[in-house]
Amino acid sequence: MCAKVQSAYVTKGEKKTTYLNFGKPYPNNTFTVVIFEKDLPNFSYAPAQHLKDKEVCITGKVIMYKGKPEIIAREEKQIQ
Q: In residues, how long is the chain? A: 80
Q: Which domain holds residue 12?
A: 2-78
**Count: domains in the chain:** 1
**pLDDT tens digits, 4-61:** 999 999 999 899 999 999 999 999 999 999 999 999 999 999 999 999 999 999 999 9
Q: Is the dihedral of CA 50, 51, 57, 58 positive or negative?
A: positive
pTM for this one?
Answer: 0.94
Output the pLDDT for position 48: 97
pLDDT digits (tens, 9 = 90+) for 64-73: 999 999 999 9
* Confidence (pLDDT) at 78: 98
Residue 59 has what pLDDT? 98
Dihedral-angle region of residue 30 (phi above 0 means left; psi in -120 to 50 means alpha; beta otherwise):
alpha
Amino acid at 30: T
pLDDT for residue 2: 95
